[in-house]
Chains A and B, each alone.
Chain A
Amino acid sequence: MMAANPLIHGPSTPAELLLADVHVLDPRAGIDVRHDVLVRDGYIAELAEPGGIDGPEGIETVHGQGRHLLPAFFDPHVHLRTPGQEHKEDLETGTRAAAAGGFGAVIAMPNTEPVIDSAPLLRSLRDSAAREARVPVGFLAAITRGLEGEELTEMAELREGGALGFTDDGLPVRSAGTLRKALQYQRLCGGVISLHEEDPTLSRGGSIREGAVSAALGIGGIPTVSESTMVARDAALAGYERARVHFQHLSCAASVQAVTHAKATGVSVSAEVTPHHLLLSEEDVRGMDTRMKMNPPLPSEEDRQALVAGLREGAIDCVATDHAPHAREEKEVPFEQAPMGTTGLETAFAALYTGLVLTGELPLALRVERMTAGAALFDLPTPRIAPGEPANLTLIDLDAEWIAGEHGWESRSDNCCFAGRRLRGRVLLTVAAGAVVYRERAFSVVAA
């Protein structure tokens, strides 16, 4: 039970493009070699050795000079803030940020104003996306009405209206009884149930991870058990109901262990982790920079390493940015007053490439796999670089250095935790659902 087209995007022109001499890296297709790639009418028409394709008349040629061509990334967790919070982001600016980050599709969260908890609201949002979204967007609907954690939404009708799945993201489903009913309803309507795990009785009053830094700053701490106990509880519920759940933004070793245990016992769970939890730690909060305030909070160094290991070894399935834009005036306040969240779409690849691939902690191919794995978790086709596939591609200069934010952002908001950092790896071109959706301004293309 689902609308025919779960991902939706604005009007676009199918690409006609020859990507000459690019280093194609698609771990699933087993390709890691320099090739020419021909895109016709939005589909990958041909792969051949460099120089093996004569660009048909009138087709633009992009001279890759050995730069990397990867399957476009998939982000299962972003906040596009529409409807109601367009001063932070909207469908157009958010998907423009996604395109600039090399993402070919994203999944938007329903914690907007109003909350996406009814089919008419979802339809109207999808109508807007069909006009404004630069890359395809899928939408999750709320599990409970108004994210209040009490009454279930009309899940079956929402699925028919195009909901990819359900989440109360931003908030946990506090009541195990309520979540259990949603998991039962999943048997009727399908759709992944995506969970923000936090026990509010443990996290209340907290802004950062509990530990030496929260003790020193006198800022309320959120203990790791606030998340890990809920992951364990909900994995048990999913096992009991034979349901399919996805755990959002894991932030500690104990949660990774709970997911590992659930997978080992045959429960259908998956998990994501964000670039900031993989790269930053509670030490980065010492300056009380509000860009470092997010939920879940930045982990201890030990937990950070456990998250990297979890991603490498497969306990964690994919990377998600949890792109959470906030307006300048909302973040330009004392730390404890600031809203939680960091933007992430435009820096995800470069930050992880600089911080984990170049340091040898994560091979590039695995990295690419984990940045595209989110699609299959939501029952969507995985972007692949093979003849006959729709073109979902991103061309990246792995050697290009840039300072995050130095030329501004595509996103409407600038609350990026990586701002000001020197990063390696620049997205030059993104093709999503067959259309060119992003070109780096300084990147010259030569028409044939």
Chain B
Amino acid sequence: MNHLLSIEDLDRAEIERIVTQAARFAEVSDREIKKVPALRGRMVLNLFYEASTRTRSSFELAAKRLSADVVNFAASGSSVEKGESLKDTVLTLSAHKPDAIVLRTPWAGAAELVSRWCSAAIVNAGDGKHEHPTQALLDVYTLRERLGGIDGASIWIVGDVAHSRVARSNIIAFQKMGAKVTLAGPPTLIPRGIEALGCDVRYTLEDLSSADVVYALRMQRERMSETWVPSLREYAAWYQINGRRLSPRQVLMHPGPVNRGVELSGEVVDSPQAVITAQVQAGVVVRMAVLYELLSGAHVPRPVPEPQLA
């Protein structure tokens, strides 16, 4: 594995290898000294074009626990605001010879594009509404810890699928791991053609009781300037996961940050079914496993591909 650009690039065995490695690193997190020397002397560059606290700090923590050096580069307040292109920023930062670049941008395909411009291993930490592969891996890890495995499980992903890179990566990852995925949400937020990925589509939560796992997506208030739904109040009435809709045997997930009272009611966030904080903990160990997978072992310099037009 040279890069982690899309969950599509991983087969089931690779996903299993990463989550198994993550489980080994979980043991490190319980030690008094939470650090191993696996990536000593390696440099990880966090390049974030979008606001992010949990993903960025989770990558930073993961790299530090592996003893790698970490440099954080946020687009705001940088040369990006002076009009520097993504390509020039990447070329400039590459001059410091990072071993890995963790990249988040608001643009689909940006991670793949950057992988053609430099020799570092690229980790896609979210590219627009396209993918968020480490989120999918940590969700698989979390479910494996909780359920033992997800083969044959029924997983419902509920809410704003259209604007969610988490949804896209998880549909693919869950299915690769043998689960059956159903999407549910208002018709305006379920993109036309998404069933081609192999999932079912519902517009109500009537059959939610058939789910083993309920994965609620964040309703992004900032998107509500365009009227994707008539009101958040009505959305909550139809699609909120609450005590009436969630049964005790179901597992509840959410990528965070949660809008209490919108996609989730307060009581379910605090319920024993919710694994939301376990997801956050999984974030660090899974990202450790990803960085370890990409950077450990004999350091083979990656060939820099010929520059070409995107």
Contact = CB atoms under 8 A, between A and B. Distances in A.
Contacts of A221: 191-193
Given A219-B130, A335-B109, A336-B128, A214 B193 contact: yes
Interface stretch (A151-159, A325-333, A386-394, A427-435): A325-333
Contact of B191 (A215, A331, A414): A215
Contacts of B168: 216, 218
Interface stretch (A76-84, A236-244, A283-291): A283-291
A334 interface: yes
B128 A218 contact: yes
Nearest to B167: A218
B191 A214 contact: yes
22 contacts: A210-B193, A211-B193, A212-B193, A215-B192, A216-B193, A217-B109, A218-B108, A218-B129, A218-B168, A219-B129, A288-B109, A288-B112, A290-B310, A331-B310, A334-B105, A334-B110, A334-B310, A335-B108, A335-B109, A336-B108, A336-B109, A338-B310
A217 B107 contact: no
A372 interface: no
Interface string A121-155: 00000000000000000000000000000000000
A59 interface: no
A213 interface: yes
Given A289-B310, A332-B310, A337-B107, A217 B130 contact: yes
A194 interface: no
B6 to A, nearest CB: 10
Contacts of B192: 210-211, 215, 221, 223
Contacts of A223: 192
Nearest to A213: B193
A281 to B, nearest CB: 14
Contact of A328 (B107, B108, B309): B309
A289 B168 CA distance: 20
A192 B101 CA distance: 54
Interface residues of A, number: 29
Nearest to B171: A216
B194 interface: yes
B258 interface: no
Interface residues of B, number: 26
A334 B197 contact: no
Interface of A: 210-219, 221, 223, 288-291, 328-329, 331-338, 414-415, 419
B131 interface: yes
A120 to B, nearest CB: 34
Nearest to B168: A218
B87 interface: yes
Nearest to B130: A218
Contacts of A331: 309-310
B64 interface: no
A333 B86 contact: yes
Contacts of B309: 290-291, 328, 331-332, 414-415, 419
Given A210-B191, A216-B196, A334-B107, 13 more contacts: A212-B196, A215-B193, A216-B193, A217-B108, A218-B131, A223-B192, A288-B108, A288-B113, A288-B310, A334-B86, A334-B113, A336-B128, A337-B107
Contacts of A338: 310
Contact of B108 (A212, A219, A332): A219
Nearest to A332: B310
Interface in B180-199: 191-194, 196-197
Interface in B91-111: 105, 107-110
A18 to B, nearest CB: 42
Nearest to A336: B107
B107 A218 contact: no
Contacts of B107: 333-337
